[in-house]
Structure 1
Amino acid sequence: MNKIKLIIIISSIMLISPLAAEAGESAELTHAMTSLVFQLGLIIFAARLGGKLFRKLKLPVVLGELVIGILIGPYLLGGIPLPGFAEGLFPLVADQSIPVSRELYGFSTIASIILLFIAGLETDLSLFLRYSLKGSIIGLGGIVLPFILGSSVGMFFLHKPFMDSQVLMLGLIGVATSVGISARILSEQRKMDSPEGVTILAAAVIDDVVGIILLAIVLGVISIVSDGHGGSLPWGDIALIAAKAIAVWLGFTAVGLVFARHISRFLKSFRSVTVFSILSLGLALILSGIFEQAGLAMIIGAYVMGLTLSKTDISFVIQEHLHSLHEFFVPIFFTVMGMLVNVNALLSWEVIIIGLIYSAASIGGKIIGGGIPSLFLHFNKTGALRIGLGLVPRGEVALIIAGIGLSTGYLSEEMFGVAVLMVLMTILIAPPLLEKALKRETRGTRDELADSNLTTTVFDYPSQEMTDFLITKILLEMKEEGFYIHSMEAGERIYQMRKEEIFLTMTVSENALSITSQVSEVGFVKTLVYESLLKLHETVNKLKNTSKPESLQKDLSEETEAAAFDLFKYIDSSCLTYNLKSTEKEKIINELIDILIKAGKLRDPEECRKAVFEREATMSTGMQHGIALPHGKSTGVDSLCAAVGISRKGVDFGSIDGEPSHIFILIISPKNTSGPHIQFLSSISAILNNPEARNALSRSGSRKELMANLKTYSSRK
């Protein structure tokens, strides 16, 4: 052991020595990394706090994350000196185009890629393709009018010509739609795959793609104009730049859709769902980099990869396994976006007035520019309004374009403040209006979009327990068949099951399940349920032959110990009686239930009564040694409650030993929420297995004495 310790010490010295020599060189990097981990930790908590607060105010979570970012950012609280951070936890970085550290901005970039990748996965590809042409037309309408109105505001207030750099930049900033913000609102409202939702996303992607193309064109035009070349503009070069960007976008989208199944098969070759979900994100990162290299935004590449995998059988499990990453990264993105806002630039009245008018022009430009074309593309007024509002939010791309304008000198600090105010106003105004419009039950299209290829097969069963058993068998069967299953809660239990071209959605209610599929797959669905029922029947028969409930019940009544459990959180002295009057099993149960009703423990007494008698019909809860534990789970109670009663004469309760029962404990637990039902049963059984406890309880002459005896022997179990 001493030799081992010596080797460890020598090795440590050898490792530490070169590190100490390089301490001076690595100090700056160490400080940067230390600052980063503190920043991320604070952002995670701050973003949740901001989101929670704004949710309570009935405002979008996105807005809360942005506002909290402004508050803790370098222009406000982030610049306050703290111990160990002389310039603040989020110091203003003055020598670069963004006011936060490159490391933190890098995290927000990864977050934006994850956000758009999952938005692509959530998009219904068939609907997207159906609405791609409409999205393009609507997107172009949402580009032209905001550009004209934004430029006009610049020309009016700045007294500059149309070709002025600031005028062109103000027109350009109003073009881009925040795909991320719109996608998040649509996702929260479960409208991602609705006709309006898909159209909004398609149009928003068009807006961003064209916005980036226009950025390249505008920067080229500004460069030529600022150089004072009086000649004609190089339209050939401009057209080449535009063609290249469009070709990259359309080309990768087409290739992705053609090879989607091959990509899916490649990912599935890694077997582990967790592994191929992470690898799919790796593909999104690679494609994002390719798009950035090609002069387009990274987020467009991420969305294209998500769209590519959206129709494969692994799309839902990828969403499920990346959910934690999504919940971690996305709030970071919106909080960092808030940190980029220079609050000082917003304090000028001139900036505020111009900003408000510019915001109104930008909002109106999107609603009118995107909404009016929608009316000619099969949408009604409600759908057109939803689409127009969905195109209003500006965010990541608008801020990026504004930052480029500021860093290149093509946009003054005041006009940058105007642009930032517009972004804030669109995020503040549009999301609540869009959420309200989406919540309306009115259809957004002129005619009902019926998919004649889809049908729903319904299977009804006597009880929820039987339905639950069948679901378990069905899910096992589907996994054995090679299906990927994604579960979700949306008021009901929903299971989405995919394998290659087969896509089933199983919705579970209390006593029934329904499976939606293509008409051609109905035979498969019925065979699936039939085979699952057969296997369930075989399992039950084997269980009857190999395991006798009566013997298990006897074993239970002979147990003498139980894990520590506080019974008296659930036993109220008002629910005790030492002198039950009834002499029949059914009447004893009703008498105990009446005690709980009188104590106000039951929300729906009849549902509770039904649950107890259904359990009793399955097998008597009469144990042995004079004990009976009638119980059940019901939707008629909010939390576990119990009634304890003593019968002097005894009642025939169908006990294991054939003896009459004297001690009765009725337990009712909520049906669809977690609770200590089994723990309570096992703990009370442990008390009653003690002969002294049974005798003491049977002799109790008052409620007070009965409760005292329960507590005494509870401590001895």
Structure 2
Amino acid sequence: MDITEIITDLVFQLALIIFAARFFGKIAVRFGIPSVLGELIAGIIIGPFALGGIALPFFPHGLFGVTDSIAGAVSPELYAFSQIASIILLFASGLETDLSLFIKYSVSGGLIGLGGVVISFFFGAACAFFILPLLGIECSGLFDVKCLFLGIMSTATSVGITARILSDKKKMDSPEGVTILAAAVFDDVLGIVLLAVVMGIVSALGTGKTLSGGAIGIIALKAFGIWLLATVAFVLLSKKIARFVRFFGGATDFSIAALGVAFLLAGFFEKEHIAMIIGAYTTGLALSGTDIAPVIQEKIHSLYKFFVPIFFAVTGMSVDVTKLFSQNVLICGGIYTLVAVLAKLLGCGLPALGLGFNLKGGFRIGAGMIPRGEVALIIAGIGLNAKDASGLPIVNQDLFGVVILMTLVTTLVAPPILNVSLSVKGRGTKKEVADAESQIFEWDFNNQELTHLIMDFLHRDLRSEGFYVQMMNITDGICTARRGDTAISLREEGTKIVIETDEKDMGFVKGELYETMLRLEKSMKSLSALKNTAALQYGFACPENRVTNSLTRFLNEKCISCELKGKTKDEILEEMLTLLIQSGNVENREMVMAALKDREAAGSTGLEKGIAIPHTKTNGVTETCVAIGIKKDGVDFDSMDGNPSKIFIMLVSPVDGTNPLMRAMAAFSGALMHEEVRTSLLEAKNPAEVVEILKDSKKI
């Protein structure tokens, strides 16, 4: 097979993986399951052991059917893509690790994280020693490299799942929430250290040597030493590394340069026979304490969204479904899963009892540490492709199936367990706990548009103060601002701006908000353009406005009346709103009417030539909707030309999301500026005729 044919196959494979991973990921999220599990299942379904192995035209072995591949079940090219994805994933995980939290809660978080890792590791290794013979796999003892690998995979925690639950329950700042997040930091770091040690042992065993206990200890110390030296050096040099990557340009450029540093250290670790992902994680960990960390997270987000689902899908492709559902794998997988759950409950919950938590709090902490996820799958993939002294994979297909089952089940059972434990009333600590150091400040602007504007001003002002501002979720209006040791969380909740920061920084934030409001007020008072808006208003009365599908897509006969009864402006608005409700998109009539009247108070929506287009944006509707009304004798609507309005188009759309209100207005006004359209509408006898007239207006 020549290089062109190899690349062509890869292109087809990537295309299918992209669509399948996103499709199954969306389905998983819809059912309240993490998308990573959907992506994993997608890989299993389209992989070489399932649909991907079916012969197709031009693909006699199937699209993913691979024979004699050095990368196992997938092609070397696809495996390379997944390895790049794992580096990006662990680099991002390192960036998300809060070093300040690590230090601040080094006692409670450290003991709980250490307990979770140590107990999970030994429980996992002991369980492996028990189940390996059941799977027909030779085991030389508790320190057999296969046992060590299953021990490491048992330590991993996917705290992202837990964090979402804590956030939904508003428990992020609770003693349990803070402790879980801090313990997860230690959990990740210690898990990476153990992986470094075990990979050093694997490398030595790969040479065919028989190692004594002392030799294994020396190898472990060497691997740990390399990791520790690199980590300490990068953390101490983090600010210099940040300055170095800034040399390459703006936010996007220095973020890519930072990823380049991660690849560099990943390659170095691999050369030292330590997994690449450890180097990537170490780079992210070092940069997590710098003020550019949130910016890098934001800028590499698109790369993350592209590559990481590919990694999980490729991991799923390595699962042999015929062995995954075999009796022995299911039994051993069930045993390993049960041990993994108990290990976290005991390993994390018991230390919590000695750190001021009661049984309820200890159980919550243990439950929050149950989910396994990304790291467990990455380690399993490393074991699947690593060889032992006899040249066989450390993790064969049976063991791989056991790990996949454990990851799936722990990720699925943890959320309901944690949800139930958090829903039980009563504190989780033995004594009342004083308020956290962080403070929350809310300010209600009573107007969502103004809230959006103030938030934009705040972002700009904080950037001018040297903060790096990162949008965490653009659609929800959540962002963080960070500079040195100062971290500020800002979010929009309806018409409110909610600010959370350390009490030492709250004075600065309040002052910044006050100055922003004063500047905005001054700008509005000096806006001379508001004194002459007739030219702007005339824009909607322009016959050249494009008549597009924005006009026809909203036409609904249920929302049309050819005989309006109202005799005043307010009566027409009420009658039109009644029509609008027939669209099924109006959730709050009072909210919509209030918004319509506010808009009319700001300036009449009566145009000229007998046309009025009352409109507004409000979250009283779920999506853009239109009502059309005709009153042949007309009503005084404060129109531009002083004449009665006879044709009414009411348009209402939500404040949030993408809703083409202005484009729809332009389309309707463009159609109505033609005299033949207006004449036909005034002569229309029923809603069906109105719809046909407006549809035909596109041809004029």
Pair in the same fold by TM > 0.5: yes
1:469 and 1:179, CA in 2 relative to 1: closer, same or farther beyond 3 A?
A: farther
Q: CA deviation at 1:426?
A: 0.6
Aligned mates of 1:325, 1:180 — CA distance in 2: 24
- Provide the rounded CA distance (Å) in 1 between the counterparts of 2:699 and 2:46: 56
CA distance in 1, matches of 2:313, 2:287: 29
Instruction: Specify the code of the residue in structure 2 equivalent to 1:400.
Output: I
Q: Per-residue deviation at 1:420?
A: 1.9
2:191 matched residue in structure 1: 207
Aligned to 1:587: 571
- Given candidates 224, 235, 256, the residue that maps to 1:246 is 224
Is 1:146 equivalent to 2:128 in the alignment?
no
Alpha-carbon deviation of 1:615? 0.5
Structure 2 length normalisation: TM-score?
0.85
Asked if 1:528 corresponds to 2:528, the answer is: no
* 2:165 is the counterpart of 1:182: no
- The answer as to 2:362 corresponding to 1:381 is yes
Partner letter of residue 272 of structure 2? A
1:397 match? 379
Match of 1:261 in 2: 239
| Runs of at least 5 residues in structure 2 that lack an aligned partner in the other structure | none
CA distance in 2, matches of 1:122, 1:88: 39
User: Structure 1 residue 115: deviation in Å?
Assistant: 0.9
CA distance in 2, matches of 1:178, 1:112: 19
Counterpart-to-counterpart distance in 2, 1:76 and 1:653: 67
The Cα RMSD (Å) is 3.7
C-alpha separation in 2, matches of 1:638 and 1:416: 52
Q: Secondary structure at the match of 2:144?
A: helix
Residue matched to 1:16: none
Pick the structure with greater CA Rg.
1
Letter in 2 for 1:711: L
Pairwise CA distance, 1:30: 3.5
Structure 1 range deviating more: 560-569 or 461-470: 560-569
Q: Which residue of 1 aligns with 2:75?
A: 101
What SS does the aligned partner of 2:152 have?
coil
Q: Given that residues 576 and 706 in structure 1 are in contact (C-alpha distance below 8 angstroms), is that contact kept between their aligned partners in structure 2?
A: no
Tell me whether 1:620 sits opposite 2:596 in the alignment. no
The alpha-carbon distance between structure 1 residues 583 and 145, as it changes in their structure 2 partners (threshold 3 A), is: closer
Aligned residue for 1:543? 527
The amino acid of 1:386's aligned partner reads A
Question: Which residues in structure 2 correspond to 1:346-357 (within 5 Å)?
Answer: 356-357=334-335
Partner of 1:702: 685
Of 302, 318, 325, 1:340 maps to 318
**Secondary structure in 1 matching 2:651:** strand
C-alpha contact (below 8 Å) 1:172/1:211 kept by paired residues: no
Q: 1:17-28 alignment to 2 at 5 Å?
A: 28=2
SS at match of 1:621: coil
Relative to structure 1, is the Cα distance of residues 363 and 457 closer, same or farther in structure 2, using a 3 angstrom cutoff?
Answer: closer
1:632 lines up with 2:616 in the alignment: yes
1:278 paired to 2:226: no
How much has 1:114 moved relative to structure 2?
Answer: 0.9
- CA deviations over 1:177-201 (Å, ceiling 9, x no partner): 3788725545665779853244234
Q: Tell me which amino acid in the other structure corresponds to 1:254.
A: V
State how far apart, in whole Å, the 2-side matches of 1:409 and 1:418 are: 18
The SS at the match of 2:120 is: helix
Distance in 1, matches of 2:372 and 2:630, equals 70
CA distance in 2, matches of 1:580, 1:354: 73
- Determine which of 37, 40, 43 is the counterpart of 1:63: 37
* 1:416 lines up with 2:396 in the alignment: yes
Counterpart of 1:4 in structure 2 is none
1:174 alignment partner, SS class: helix
Letter in structure 2 aligned against 1:426: M
CA distance in 1, matches of 2:29, 2:354: 36
Residue 401 of structure 2 is aligned to residue 427 of structure 1: no
Distance in 2 of aligned mates of 1:156 and 1:600: 60
Distance, in Å, in 1 between the alignment partners of 2:243 and 2:484 is 9
Q: Is the 8 A contact 1:50 1:68 kept in 2?
A: yes
1:171 is aligned to 2:153: no
| Deviations, residues 216-249 of structure 1 (Å, cap 9, x unaligned) | 447768989969xxxxx361x4333222222222
Alpha-carbon distance change, 86 to 268 in structure 1, aligned in 2, over 3 angstroms: same
Equivalent residue in structure 2 for 1:121, among 80, 95, 111: 95
Secondary structure of 2:151's counterpart equals coil
Residue of structure 2 equivalent to 1:41 = 15
Q: 1:435 to 1:301 in 2, by over 3 A?
A: farther
Aligned to 1:20: none
| Partner SS, residue 409 of structure 1 | coil
1 CA distance for matches of 2:695 and 2:210? 92
Distance in 1 between the 2:384 and 2:364 partners?
31
1:72 aligns with 2:46: yes
Cα distance change of structure 1 residues 31 and 258 upon mapping to structure 2, 3 Å threshold: same
Cα displacement (A) at 1:667: 2.7
Distance in 1, matches of 2:458 and 2:470, equals 14
Counterpart of 2:145 in structure 1: which amino acid? M
Q: Secondary structure at the match of 2:72?
A: coil
How does 1:479-558 map onto structure 2 within 5 Å?
479-489=463-473, 492-545=476-529, 548-558=532-542
Contact map agreement 1:640 1:669 (CA 8 A) in 2: yes
State the alpha-carbon separation in 2 of the partners of residues 321 and 30 from structure 1. 32
Q: TM-score, normalised by structure 1?
A: 0.83
Q: Distance in 1 between matches of 2:631 and 2:326?
A: 83
Deviates more, 1:261-270 or 1:216-225: 216-225
Separation in 1, partners of 2:345, 2:501? 37
* SS of structure 2 residue aligned to 1:632: strand
Aligned match of 1:322: 300
Q: How far 1:87 sits from its partner (Å)?
A: 3.8
Q: Is the 8 A contact 2:53 2:63 kept in 1?
A: yes
| 1:450–1:317 Cα change, 3 Å | farther
- Percent identity among equivalent residues? 34
Measure the CA separation in 2 of the matches of 1:491 and 1:390.
28
Indicate how the Cα distance of structure 1 residues 374 and 216 shifts in structure 2: closer, same or farther if over 3 A, else same.
Answer: farther
CA 1:467–1:628 in structure 2 vs 1: closer, same or farther (change >3 Å)?
Answer: same
Offset at residue 513 of structure 1 (A): 0.9
**Aligned twin of 1:21:** none
Summarize the Cα distance change of 1:537–1:271 in structure 2 as closer, same or farther, 3 Å threshold.
Answer: farther
Contact kept in structure 2, 1:151 and 1:171, CA below 8 Å: yes
1:617, distance to aligned residue in structure 2 (A)? 0.8
The aligned amino acid for 2:151 is: V
Contact map agreement 2:242 2:287 (CA 8 A) in 1: yes
Contact 2:612–2:648 under 8 Å retained in 1: yes
In the alignment, the residues of structure 2 paired with residue 40 and residue 94 of structure 1 have an alpha-carbon distance, to the nearest angstrom, of 20
- Note closer, same or farther for the CA distance 1:394–1:509 as it changes in structure 2 (3 Å cut): closer
Which residue in the other structure is 1:10 paired with?
Answer: none
Post-superposition offset of 1:111: 0.9
